[in-house]
Amino acid sequence: MANWEVVIGLEIHAQLATKSKIFSGSPTVYGALPNTQADLVDLAYPGVLPVLNGEALRMAVKFGLAIGAKIAHRSIFARKNYFYPDLPKGYQISQYEHPVVGKGAITVLYDDGAVKTVGVTRAHLEEDAGKSLHEGLANASGIDLNRAGTPLLEIVSEPDMRSAKEAVAYMRKIHTLVRYLEICDGNMQEGSFRCDANVSVRPRGAAKFGTRAEIKNLNSFRFVEKAIQYEVARQIELIEGGGKVVQETRLYDSDKNETRSMRSKEEANDYRYFPDPDLLPVEIDDAFIDAVRGSLPELPDEKAARFAGEFGLSAYDAGVLSASREMGAYFEAVVDALGTAGRSAPQAKLAANWVMGELSSALNRDNVEIAGSRVSPEALAGLLTRIVDATISGKIAKEVFESMWSDGKSADALIEEKGLKQITDSSAIEGVIDSVIAANPKQLAEYLSGKDELFRFFVGQVMKATAGKANPAQLNELLKKKLTGGPK
Amino acid sequence: MLHTLSIGELADRLADREISSVELARHFLARIERLNPSLNAVITVTADEALSSAAAADARLGAGERGRLLGIPLIHKDIFCTDGVRTSCGSRMLDNFVAPYDATVVTRLKAAGAVMLGKSNMDEFAMGSSNETSYYGPVRNPWDTTKVPGGSSGGSAAASAARLAAYSTGTDTGGSIRQPAALTGLTGVKPTYGRVSRYGMIAFASSLDQAGVLSRSAADAAEVLKVMAGFDPKDSTSVDAPVPDYPALLDAPLKGLKIGLLREFFDGLESRNATLIQDALKLFTSLGAETVEVSLPHLPLSVPTYYVVAPAECSSNLSRFDGVRYGYRCAAPSDLTDLYERSRGEGFGAEVKRRIMTGTYVLSAGYFDAYYLKAQKVRRLITDDFRAAFEKVDLVAGPTTPTPAFAVGAKIDDPVTMYLNDIYTIGANLAGLPGLSTPCGYVDGLPMGLQLVGPHFSEAKLLSAAHHYQRATEWHLHTPDGYQ
């Protein structure tokens, strides 16, 4: 393994979030009864013609601008010819030699903190095919053309990735970006975001790429990682055993966690691409491009840089909080609700920790999107305010948060109701300390003889006696004073 | 006799309530019943629909509405989808296909009150120059029923020539309106590519196909084209440009019109044909036009260029006919491949298969550059030749066909000879230009056509030139024996 370098390129298919299909007026809503969202154009009736959905074009340009790519002023739709029952026209309309989005690049932050730029070769518009259904049909196949004609943006990367993890990190970044741009819902279960992975290996230091295999239709980040890992191991084992990798298309079987050959290069179709005479070349001018540029939201990298600069967050925290537009917005809403103090580094950091910590785990646990969080940013800010003003401790706050999550009540109401208000009255705390010391003479003697770690025992006893409500800072200070008759 | 009247004359009589649309429809339906069996021009007669739309037209007329096509009968080429009516495209593949919608051409004519009597025979998927490739059998030329009427709009041509309707629609991919119009003594107009919507017109070669009209005169064609033409948001290749009032522009002065004689068209032209064309041009000169010789050096390459481009597009356009969703499906397919192979093998005729195979070949890896790409380059050169010529002249003129109508069966086994029939008409399709054929005399007692081709969107000029010529001649008024 150490002697081999892995080379990966991805072709990501992002379903564009248009209301209607790319060349017809049919709706694109997922999950409708078979063939209820296919009109005469989608069914390829004799005589019908495609008309380009301008919104799909706008979305493609939006993506291109977001990755700093060159936008083609003139792009051309071509026909990719092959027979298949779920391809009603007998050809797919796609962009071949002249895609709308040219060369661009995207910065990927890996888990280990490394930053790498991955090249995007091109991105082009095309239509999706329908689906063949075999289940429950004896000696027959069903065809559902609801998906036929759904707009796709195919994003082709350079072979810039060197491990399955890098491939996944790149794919996640594109996933984040298309959702930021609101051009794709990113729903991988429904197939709105999927990819093909081109995988090869070569001896470390070799100049030439090895022969690649293309793994088709990977529809989860986990499958991308596993399929690539399997494929890399397969290729290395094959070559080391004296074999040769053949150029072919492979399918990943997630049940068996293996890739299987689908068809070899020799069996590959000759798609007979040629410009679609039913569609004129797509001409776009600078005014169009500028208008799209003007509609771009703050992009993930820009947002992360701003979070780091404005709130003093670490690059990692800023990256996590800007990973989705919704999370960034939630975080900012919490900070805003904290008032002017919220923009200070310590409070912003507190907000960041809570959003990435308690809130995120609650969302994950209950499988809720952040936009539908049961604790609103304002409510969370209400809770954080009580930590900041020392009404409750951070530990109590976690309990309050759980109650807020389940009851929907405000932090203040819960603190009041459950009597969780922190004890900050020195004399009250001193009273409890005195009785704890009195009740544990043995531990006191040991402590005084130098067993410092017993300090934590006394803290625990006081907290137990106050049901955790004693202000921790005050408790520390007072306890030290009491145990030693004054600060040490 | 009602069937000898022009569209204008019929419109006047309907407006004056001298006749009703229903009477007119009945008159033509009776002619179809009597005369069509020997011609095989009409393959679907929609008598009930015709009478009810004629009655609706009468109601509109009764309410005071007027329109030059309102209540006047026509026949549509069976390439146009007609809602609820079989649309076969002359193929076994679509023998059972009832279109669920109207082509834009059909919609526009319907809205104008045109009365459809039926659908006309045609070469299968418009691939042919003699109307012999139809699944429904050959069409006969009313001037001589041993002869072909030309193709692919042969049924429409024979129907209009035999006066089975006031006019008919057609489509022209390489000459399919102009050539049959010439061979049956009609005026045939192929508009500029993009002038008339292709939506609902079953595609043969999308970059060349254009809908038009076959009628008795340029004046009639002007009325029909005015309704057919115009931008259609459903056809991305249709052009959003205003439609001129063609009938109103017919009388525009001819004086000073510069007509280019295409040198390449006269090279090797049979002498009797050449004489007819020269006579026609002399007449134009006497009417005030000037003639000058022009050359389109790449025009001789138009037939081979066409027979790469058109089959390439057709091979892809016809992929949708796979036996899965509509149309012909073979009996008891054993698997998917069998379904495809037999449905297409049994559903398509020989000429269609020949072109699908040619087209698949020229698009395939390793041949694409040598054929398809080369053909596109030559196409560009031909277009540039025309553009250069139109810097010197307003229109170019020449013969529509090399010979008059030939015998049924004479060329059907020799595709290359058959393809050469369109040698004079294909150039306009490759360049997207409007072309018109007008009757200009006879060779061996069979009608011949003079072809005019103009710059993009010069239909008004073409129609006006033909109209001036037709006012000075009577060829277009002749009706074949037995059909007067």
Query: What tens digit of pLDDT does each residue of B272-314 get?
Result: 999 999 999 999 999 999 999 999 999 999 999 999 999 999 9
Is the C-alpha dihedral spanning A82, A84, A90, A96 positive or negative?
negative
pLDDT surpassing 90 at residue A269 = no
Q: Which two tokens stand for residue B173?
A: 């991919």
Say how many CA atoms lie within 13 Å of A52 toward its Cβ.
26
Q: Are strands A213-218 and A248-253 parallel, antiparallel or unpaired?
A: parallel
Report the chain A residue with the minimal C-alpha distance to residue B362: A272
Is B319 one of the annotated active-site residues of the chain?
no
- Spatial separation of the C-alpha atoms in residues A346 and A336, rounded to whole Å: 14
Q: What is the mean pLDDT of residues A320-332?
A: 91
Report the chain A residue with the minimal C-alpha distance to residue B207: A277
pLDDT band at A486 (very low <50, low <70, confident <90, very high): very low
**Which of A235-239, A321-325, B175-179 is least confident?**
A321-325
Residue with tokens 């072809």: B451
pLDDT at A396: 85
- The total number of structural domains that make up chain B: 1
- Spatial separation of the C-alpha atoms in residues A307 and A440, rounded to whole Å: 50
Instruction: State the CATH number of the domain containing residue B77.
Output: 3.90.1300.10
pLDDT at A1: 63
pLDDT band at A488 (very low <50, low <70, confident <90, very high): very low
Is the C-alpha dihedral spanning B94, B99, B103, B107 positive or negative?
positive
Q: If you count them, how many residues does chain B have? A: 484
Decide if A230 contacts A254 (C-beta within 8 A): no
- Spatial separation of the C-alpha atoms in residues B82 and B99, rounded to whole Å: 6
SS3 A91: strand
Decide if B428 contacts B434 (C-beta within 8 A): yes
- Which residues of chain A neighbour B326 with C-beta distances below 8 Å? 45-46
Decide if B43 contacts B119 (C-beta within 8 A): yes
Helices A325-337 and A377-388: angle between axes, nearest 10 degrees: 50
- Which of 222-251 (B) contact A at CB < 8 A? 233-237
Is B134 one of the annotated active-site residues of the chain?
no
Contacts of A460 (CB under 8 A, 6+ apart): none
- Spatial separation of the C-alpha atoms in residues A126 and A121, rounded to whole Å: 16
Of the candidates B386, B397, B378, B392, the residue with the CA atom closest to the CA atom of residue B456 = B386
Look at A46 and B319 and tell me if their CB atoms are within 8 Å: no
pLDDT at A485: 66
Report the chain A residue with the minimal C-alpha distance to residue B93: A46
- B93 φ/ψ angles, rounded to the nearest 5 degrees: -55, -35
Count Cβ atoms below 10 Å from residue B244 Cβ, excluding itself.
18
Mean pLDDT of chain B: 97
Evaluate whether residue B111 is within a structural domain.
yes
DSSP conformation letters of B21-54 = HHHHHHHHHHHHHHHHHHH--EEEE-HHHHHHHH
pLDDT at A262: 86
Of the candidates B73, B83, B104, B67, the residue with the CA atom closest to the CA atom of residue B230 = B104
- Spatial separation of the C-alpha atoms in residues B223 and B459, rounded to whole Å: 12
Nearest to A89 among B99, B100, B320 (CB): B320
Range of the domain at B454: 2-256+435-477
Q: Does the CB of B55 have a partner CB in chain A at under 8 Å?
A: no
- Spatial separation of the C-alpha atoms in residues A232 and A248, rounded to whole Å: 14
Is B374 one of the annotated active-site residues of the chain?
no
Decide if B415 contacts B289 (C-beta within 8 A): no
Q: Does the CB of B146 have a partner CB in chain A at under 8 Å?
A: no
Q: Does the CB of B322 have a partner CB in chain A at under 8 Å?
A: yes
- Spatial separation of the C-alpha atoms in residues B224 and B188, rounded to whole Å: 11
The whole model's pTM is what?
A: 0.90
Portion of chain A with pLDDT greater than 90, in percent: 67
pLDDT band at B388 (very low <50, low <70, confident <90, very high): very high
Q: What is the mean pLDDT of residues A401-406?
A: 92
> Cα–Cα distances in Å, from A125 out to A12, A48, A291, A416, B374?
12, 20, 20, 58, 27
Look at A79 and B233 and tell me if their CB atoms are within 8 Å: no
Q: Does the CB of B89 have a partner CB in chain A at under 8 Å?
A: yes
pLDDT surpassing 60 at residue B375 = yes
- A458 φ/ψ angles, rounded to the nearest 5 degrees: -65, -40
- Which residues of chain B neighbour A52 with C-beta distances below 8 Å? 236
- Which of 330-369 (B) contact A at CB < 8 A? 336, 340, 360, 363-365, 368
Q: What is the mean pLDDT of residues A43-58?
A: 98
pLDDT surpassing 70 at residue B137 = yes
B189 membership: H or E segment, kind and range: strand B187-190
Evaluate whether residue B272 is within a structural domain.
no
- Beta bridge partners, B218, equal none
Q: How far is B283 from chain A (nearest CA, A)?
A: 40
pLDDT surpassing 80 at residue A436 = yes
Evaluate whether residue B410 is within a structural domain.
no
Portion of chain A with pLDDT greater than 70, in percent: 98
pLDDT band at B183 (very low <50, low <70, confident <90, very high): very high
Evaluate whether residue B289 is within a structural domain.
no
pLDDT at A113: 75
A472 membership: H or E segment, kind and range: helix A472-484
Look at B316 and A272 and tell me if their CB atoms are within 8 Å: yes
- Spatial separation of the C-alpha atoms in residues A141 and A135, rounded to whole Å: 8
Q: How far is B288 from chain A (nearest CA, A)?
A: 41
Contacts of B9 (CB under 8 A, 6+ apart): none
Look at B325 and A49 and tell me if their CB atoms are within 8 Å: no
Decide if B129 contacts B173 (C-beta within 8 A): no
Query: What tens digit of pLDDT does each residue of A232-251 get?
Result: 999 999 999 999 999 999 99
- Which of 22-41 (A) contact B at CB < 8 A? 40
pLDDT at A342: 64
pLDDT surpassing 80 at residue A345 = no
Evaluate whether residue B104 is within a structural domain.
yes
DSSP code at position A287: H
pLDDT at A323: 84
- Spatial separation of the C-alpha atoms in residues B319 and A82, rounded to whole Å: 8
Region of A396 (left: φ > 0; alpha: ψ -120 to 50; beta: rest) is: alpha
Look at B236 and A81 and tell me if their CB atoms are within 8 Å: no
Burial label for A79, CB within 10 Å (0-12, 13-18, 19+), is buried
Q: What is the mean pLDDT of residues B434-461?
A: 98
pLDDT surpassing 60 at residue B165 = yes
Of the candidates A61, A77, A126, the residue with the CA atom closest to the CA atom of residue A279 = A77
pLDDT surpassing 80 at residue A183 = yes
Q: Does the CB of A137 have a partner CB in chain B at under 8 Å?
A: no
Q: Does the CB of A143 have a partner CB in chain B at under 8 Å?
A: yes
CB crowding B111-146: b at 16 or more within 10 Å, else e: ebbbbbbbbbbbbbbbbbbbbbbbbbebbbbbbbbe
Look at B101 and A280 and tell me if their CB atoms are within 8 Å: no
Higher pLDDT, residue A435 or B340:
B340
ipTM given for this complex: 0.96
- Spatial separation of the C-alpha atoms in residues A355 and A330, rounded to whole Å: 8
Q: What is the mean pLDDT of residues A292-296?
A: 96
pLDDT surpassing 60 at residue A221 = yes
Q: How far is A16 from chain B (nearest CA, A)?
A: 22
- Which residues of chain A neighbour B103 with C-beta distances below 8 Å? 47
Evaluate whether residue B370 is within a structural domain.
no
Decide if B52 contacts B95 (C-beta within 8 A): no
- Beta bridge partners, B75, equal B118, B168
Query: What tens digit of pLDDT does each residue of A127-153 get?
Result: 999 998 888 887 788 999 999 999 999
CA-atom Rg of chain B in angstroms: 21
pLDDT surpassing 50 at residue A255 = yes
DSSP code at position A305: H
Pick from A257-271, A451-465, B150-164 the range whose average pLDDT is largest. B150-164
Q: How far is A277 from chain B (nearest CA, A)?
A: 5
Evaluate whether residue B97 is within a structural domain.
yes
pLDDT band at A394 (very low <50, low <70, confident <90, very high): confident
Query: What tens digit of pLDDT does each residue of B222-260 get?
Result: 999 999 999 999 999 999 999 999 999 999 999 999 999
Of the candidates B21, B91, B176, B458, the residue annotated as catalytic is B176
Query: What tens digit of pLDDT does each residue of A152-162 get?
Result: 999 999 999 99
Query: What tens digit of pLDDT does each residue of A30-41 get?
Result: 889 999 999 999
Of the candidates A79, A74, A277, A280, the residue with the CA atom closest to the CA atom of residue B430 = A277
pLDDT at A188: 94
Decide if A96 contacts A273 (C-beta within 8 A): yes
Region of B403 (left: φ > 0; alpha: ψ -120 to 50; beta: rest) is: beta
Mutant choice from A24, A48, A267 vs B, greatest count of B C-beta within 10 A: A48
* Longest CA span, chain B: 70
pLDDT band at B195 (very low <50, low <70, confident <90, very high): very high
- Which residues of chain B neighbour A54 with C-beta distances below 8 Å? none
3-class SS shares of chain A: helix, strand, coil, % to 5: 40, 20, 40
DSSP conformation letters of B231-267 = --TT-TTS---PPP-TGGGTTS--TT-EEEEEHHHHT
Query: What tens digit of pLDDT does each residue of B93-119 get?
Result: 999 999 999 999 999 999 999 999 999
Q: What is the mean pLDDT of residues A391-404?
A: 88
Decide if B217 contacts B476 (C-beta within 8 A): yes
- A77 φ/ψ angles, rounded to the nearest 5 degrees: -85, 135
pLDDT at A429: 87
Evaluate whether residue B105 is within a structural domain.
yes
Q: How far is A178 from chain B (nearest CA, A)?
A: 29
Q: How far is B237 from chain A (nearest CA, A)?
A: 6
Residue with tokens 């095309």: A126
All domains in chain A, ordered by first residue? 4-291 (no CATH), 300-417 (no CATH), 426-484 (1.10.10.410)
* Longest CA span, chain A: 98
Look at B316 and A48 and tell me if their CB atoms are within 8 Å: no
Mean pLDDT of chain A: 91
